[in-house]
Amino acid sequence: MKFADMQYRFSEFWSEFKKERSGLVGLAILVLSLLVVIFEPVILPWKEANSKWRNIDYWQDNSASAPPAWTNAFTKLKAPVTVRLDEGEKEEAYLDGGIQLVTYTFEYDYGADKAPLDVIFHVTGHGDIPVQVSVERPDGVMLDFAQRFEQGLAGQDIRISLDNDGREAAFSFIKNYESESALERYSGRSLRTGDILFNVAREGMAEEFEPLKGTYKLMVKAML
């Protein structure tokens, strides 16, 4: 078969095929699927998703329902992207009895329109360690979100999630601004910590989010 014949038959086939809308839709889906496979390394939010699909340790620090960062290009209200803060400012002090108090302070510059879904801390310790997590907001308000007393550690990882461990503290915070009737509609379980922590302090803050942009100081204190 000559190339000219093949070209003619393909042209004839395409002329008939494009008359069927269902066929064009199916072809578009096929092309889109092929493009997703080809560009998967670029558009995949988590590069190791395929190899660590069943590894809960890999997924637990990726907030549920968090969209890929590139979706910000198509939305008016920008969501914060995931950042990792490894280098914090370390301060040491000694209390009565020779107890050492170590404080790590991490600065987080928040400038998005939506609240972070979670703030997660990882601490590695040895022995018996009391741990406290606090946050200083840009308005100067200091909030204590979580306290732990870990025993018998031998280098294990301590994981603290503000969304899980800080909800009661968030509920206590809104009590300073909300009316009694409004508080009856909420509890520590019904609030998302991020929606309160990164919200402008005012009456109605539990109902409507207004971002408090600026630098947040995330502090982890441990007694050694």
Distance from C-alpha of 147 to C-alpha of 157, rounded to nearest angstrom: 15
pLDDT on residue 4: 61
Q: What is the mean pLDDT of residues 68-77?
A: 87
Q: Indicate whether 20 and 88 sit together in one domain.
A: no
b/e map 106-117, b = 16+ CB within 10 Å: bebebeeebbbb
Q: Indicate whether 27 and 127 sit together in one domain.
A: no
CATH of the domain at 126: 2.60.120
Q: Indicate whether 34 and 82 sit together in one domain.
A: no
Structural domain includes residue 145: yes
b/e map 76-94, b = 16+ CB within 10 Å: eeebbeeeeeeeeeeeeee
Q: Indicate whether 21 and 86 sit together in one domain.
A: no
Structural domain includes residue 172: yes
Q: Indicate whether 20 and 110 sit together in one domain.
A: no
pLDDT of 107 above 90? yes
CA 73 to chain centre: 18
* pLDDT tens, residue by residue, 8-40: 676 766 676 666 677 667 777 888 888 777 766
pLDDT on residue 154: 84
Measured from the Cβ of residue 118, the count of other Cβ atoms closer than 10 Å reads 19
Q: What is the mean pLDDT of residues 63-82?
A: 83
* pLDDT tens, residue by residue, 138-180: 999 999 988 888 888 888 888 889 998 999 999 999 999 998 8
Q: Indicate whether 114 and 29 sit together in one domain.
A: no
Q: Indicate whether 116 and 177 sit together in one domain.
A: yes
Please state the domain count of the chain. 2
Query: The domain containing residue 27 runs over which residues?
Result: 3-38
